[in-house]
Structure 1
Amino acid sequence: MSLISRKLLINLNLMRRNMSGMSGRKVFVVGVGMTKFEKPGRRENFDYPDMAKEAVEKALEDGLIKYSAIEQACVGYVYGDSTCGQRALYPLGMTGVPIINVNNNCATGSSALFLAHQLISGGLVNCALALGFEKMQKGSLSSVYSDRANPVQPHVEAMMAVRDIEASPMAAQLFGNAGREHMNKYGTTEEHFAKIAWKNHKHSINNPNSQFQDEYTLEQIMQAPVVHKPLTKLQCCPTSDGGAAAILASEQFVKENKLEDRAVEIIGIEMATDLPSTFKDKSCIKAVGFDMTKIAADTLFKKSGLSPSDVQVVELHDCFSANELITYEALGLCEVGKAGEMIDNADNTYGGKYVVNPSGGLISKGHPLGATGLAQCLELTCQVRGEAGARQVPGAKIGLQHNLGLGGACVVALYKKANLHESKL
């Protein structure tokens, strides 16, 4: 299919979406900003209000917007006291607007984005801020409370129904065992998982905001210390400090403020939570969110009138290389069982069918939980604007986001560069 034919088909599908599938007003990203993601404590006296200030000020500058224009804020973080959102934003301006604090585990940033999108789409406000940040402790994630029900305990029990507990971090066991299941079912090899990490580390060398900007050989990836077989240390995301922000606006706001050239449309955004199959199907792949990813993606593509083949660039939740691999299949980027073939064909990097995690992903860019989903939003906004610099994906028109939190929540979204100068279809 020619480029012109493809563009006409995408426009037709978007028109169908506007006529029937998607409800509410159009929503646009008009400003994005983030801090560099860093090892916890790397910057002395760099607390979460500092992260928020840096990320929001960059987003305001990117969108040529004043803080006073923001009518409501949704602020995401996992580790922190109540009302950290207010403590973070008050120094930027005490304007009296509603500030909602959000916690949805590793999907917290995209959950804040989802709520801000609803505010605009539903006509409640014309300009909303989605902000996420995290000040993390060093080392593997662990439970904070021991005197109450652990929300991830049912997921661990689902894993234990088919796998024995081992002496490794629980998150690595959950996702590593999903990788083992894929190997057993479909013949995936340890090298396939290593190739994903090799790719993401290689991508990150062009991202100045990435926690790591080191390139490794495939052998170095595979020979790194084992965390939970088949996962080595270089296939696991680090703990990180950092913040990210996105300013969302209605079409009315965009036009009144002459932001047409900065606007990126969120074609659609969907959130899903766990289904009974997560716990009942005796599958480690399903225990870590395959089905909620699939239902969110299927719903998104159906409502938008688009398909995975319309996408060029993807930012997905590679907390571990095993999760990136199984997510290819859940999102429909390849058939179930064919992720290894997709990797071998290099259809997940530059020159292939998709470019997945051009930012370096969580594995290399870092994973400050509350900020991750908004950093993905920033990357895709830059990509479809054509402003990603050395990591720009050629011809990036449609971007796909996937952010996952065990417990659970999954957010998927589609982005495209707006062209509000054209007359409406």
Structure 2
Amino acid sequence: MSQDVYVLGVGMIPFCKPGAHEPYPKMAATATRAALADAGIGYVSIQQAYVGYVYGDSTAGQRALYEVGMTGIPVVNVNNNCSTGSTALFLARQAVASGAAECVLALGFEHMSPGALGEVFKDRPSPFQWFNEATDELVISDLPLALRYFGGAGLAHMQEFGTRVETFAKIRAKASRHAANNPLALFRKVVTEEEVMASAMLWPGVMTRLMACPPTCGAAAAVVCSEDFARRHGKALAVRIRAQAMTTDRPATFEANDMREVVGFGMAREAAALVYEQAGVDPRDIDVVELHDCFAHNELVSYEALGLCPVGGAQAFVERGDNTYGGQVVTNPSGGLLSKGHPLGATGLAQCFELAHQLRGTAEARQVPGARLALQHNLGVGGACVVTLYERA
């Protein structure tokens, strides 16, 4: 049997550039304490913890949480590339839904280095080997791999549907307008479509620098619990996890000869379909979305994967303003990864933080009026995708 799971508390610290942050245990402990305070409980009430990070040594999760308390609970370290934070949330929700625990912490943090992402262990087969080989066949470029992955996905969309590079610039400009209202975002300066296009060209005709998210450091956390736990402790419940799904790659990732599949289009589409089926909702019922916009190109591709618009309809979706306030669905009111930042292990839980506040009605200047259903999409090449549907309780 499965029981309902609620988001009782969320916490997050301002994201910042590498070198401008505290050591990871301090960042993680601050976010954890904020989530506990938001939930109105002490660390002694936490029965299990799932802690996500990508760049760190084994048991860094314990090191981080020992700053908060040493209560002997199970602490599980999670590493699932850019979907790490939402994978920690997925495991925390499962623990509560199954009845294995009543109150569980999901924590994510990242201490990143400047520059493009790279592999750490070069003396063994890379988990990206097949992805790199597929990219080498489809994309001719000497750019860093992440740019080739997601720029290549955007290029595939451009070639099939005539999507203009200016459409990606519109997405980035929209992200900046949203982030201007988010005090926790790394970049809060509003930029125009023209300024995005005028930034340094990384891939001529495909991508400028402002279309890529920056390396970022930070931490975020969420406390999830059962209804019985909340009732016994006198806690009001405002946000329920209505449905959630996690998917990994299928053969089409490498066999479709399509860079959109290489970067997770199929995983995202399958996870979203499972969530909509579990919840009995239509994509057009969604009020607000936090999706994985590591590049403006992936935001556009994700509109279609999540069913927010038809395949091939993303450019028109953007041009109509259906991705912002006053349109069909507000996407990334936080500013998204493009403006808020992308500390890999924390990203999924920062998305949870934003959507919890949206459904509570406490997002202040970012508030989506009347938000009732909120969708989260967090993707990691390699690969894993977690899609979560929250509803106002």
Q: TM-score scaled to structure 1, two decimals? A: 0.91
The one-letter code matched in structure 1 to 2:77 is N
Give the % identical residues. 52
The CA RMSD measured in Å over matched residues stands at: 0.8
Deviations 1:14-36 (A, max 9, x none): xxxxxxxxx61100000000010
In structure 1, the gaps of 5 or more residues are 1-22, 419-425
**1:227 counterpart SS class:** strand
| Cα distance in 2 for residues equivalent to 1:335 and 1:128 | 37
| Cα distance in 1 for residues equivalent to 2:175 and 2:278 | 30
| Cα distance in 2 for residues equivalent to 1:337 and 1:174 | 19
Q: CA deviation at 1:163?
A: 2.1
Partner of 2:14: 36
The one-letter code matched in structure 2 to 1:291 is G
The one-letter code matched in structure 2 to 1:49 is P
Match of 1:302 among 277, 283, 295: 277
Partner of 1:243: 219
| Cα distance in 2 for residues equivalent to 1:275 and 1:228 | 29
Q: CA deviation at 1:263?
A: 3.2
The one-letter code matched in structure 2 to 1:105 is N
| Cα distance in 1 for residues equivalent to 2:192 and 2:303 | 23
Match of 1:281 among 256, 268, 288: 256
**1:91 counterpart SS class:** coil
The one-letter code matched in structure 1 to 2:269 is K
**1:350 counterpart SS class:** coil
Partner of 1:232: 208
Equivalences for 1:109-124 in 2 at 5 Å? Answer: 109-124=85-100
The one-letter code matched in structure 1 to 2:174 is K
2:352 matches 1:391: no
| Cα distance in 1 for residues equivalent to 2:160 and 2:52 | 37
Partner of 2:123: 147
Deviations 1:100-130 (A, max 9, x none): 0000000000000000000000000000000
2:143 matches 1:189: no
| Cα distance in 2 for residues equivalent to 1:356 and 1:258 | 34
Partner of 2:5: 27
Q: CA deviation at 1:366?
A: 0.3
The one-letter code matched in structure 2 to 1:38 is C
**2:138 counterpart SS class:** coil
Asked if structure 2 preserves the Cα contact closer than 8 Å seen for 1:240 and 1:367, the reply is yes
2:309 matches 1:331: no
Asked if structure 2 preserves the Cα contact closer than 8 Å seen for 1:173 and 1:228, the reply is no
| Cα distance in 2 for residues equivalent to 1:120 and 1:159 | 39
Q: CA deviation at 1:228?
A: 2.7
Partner of 1:216: 191
Match of 1:94 among 70, 73, 91: 70
Match of 2:383 among 385, 398, 408: 408
| Cα distance in 2 for residues equivalent to 1:65 and 1:244 | 17
| Cα distance in 2 for residues equivalent to 1:379 and 1:53 | 19
2:392 matches 1:417: yes
2:79 matches 1:103: yes
Deviations 1:261-296 (A, max 9, x none): x43100011100001000011001111000000000
Equivalences for 1:371-386 in 2 at 5 Å? Answer: 371-386=346-361
The one-letter code matched in structure 1 to 2:3 is R
| Cα distance in 1 for residues equivalent to 2:125 and 2:310 | 37
Deviations 1:176-204 (A, max 9, x none): 01101101101110111110000001110
2:149 matches 1:201: no
| Cα distance in 2 for residues equivalent to 1:151 and 1:194 | 31
Displacement over 3 Å in runs of 4+? none
Asked if structure 1 preserves the Cα contact closer than 8 Å seen for 2:176 and 2:187, the reply is yes
Equivalences for 1:308-347 in 2 at 5 Å? Answer: 308-347=283-322
Asked if structure 1 preserves the Cα contact closer than 8 Å seen for 2:267 and 2:384, the reply is yes
Partner of 2:54: 78
The one-letter code matched in structure 2 to 1:32 is V
| Cα distance in 2 for residues equivalent to 1:337 and 1:355 | 20
| Cα distance in 2 for residues equivalent to 1:197 and 1:342 | 14
| Cα distance in 1 for residues equivalent to 2:362 and 2:101 | 28
| Cα distance in 2 for residues equivalent to 1:259 and 1:226 | 51
**1:92 counterpart SS class:** coil
Asked if structure 1 preserves the Cα contact closer than 8 Å seen for 2:61 and 2:75, the reply is yes
**2:50 counterpart SS class:** strand
Asked if structure 2 preserves the Cα contact closer than 8 Å seen for 1:159 and 1:282, the reply is no
| Cα distance in 2 for residues equivalent to 1:196 and 1:172 | 17
Equivalences for 1:267-278 in 2 at 5 Å? Answer: 267-278=242-253
Q: TM-score scaled to structure 2, two decimals? A: 0.99
2:344 matches 1:366: no
Q: CA deviation at 1:259?
A: 1.6
Equivalences for 1:162-173 in 2 at 5 Å? Answer: 162-164=138-140, 166-173=141-148
The one-letter code matched in structure 2 to 1:33 is G
| Cα distance in 1 for residues equivalent to 2:3 and 2:336 | 31
In structure 2, the gaps of 5 or more residues are none
Q: CA deviation at 1:162?
A: 2.2
| Cα distance in 2 for residues equivalent to 1:148 and 1:129 | 33
**1:62 counterpart SS class:** helix
Asked if structure 2 preserves the Cα contact closer than 8 Å seen for 1:73 and 1:99, the reply is yes
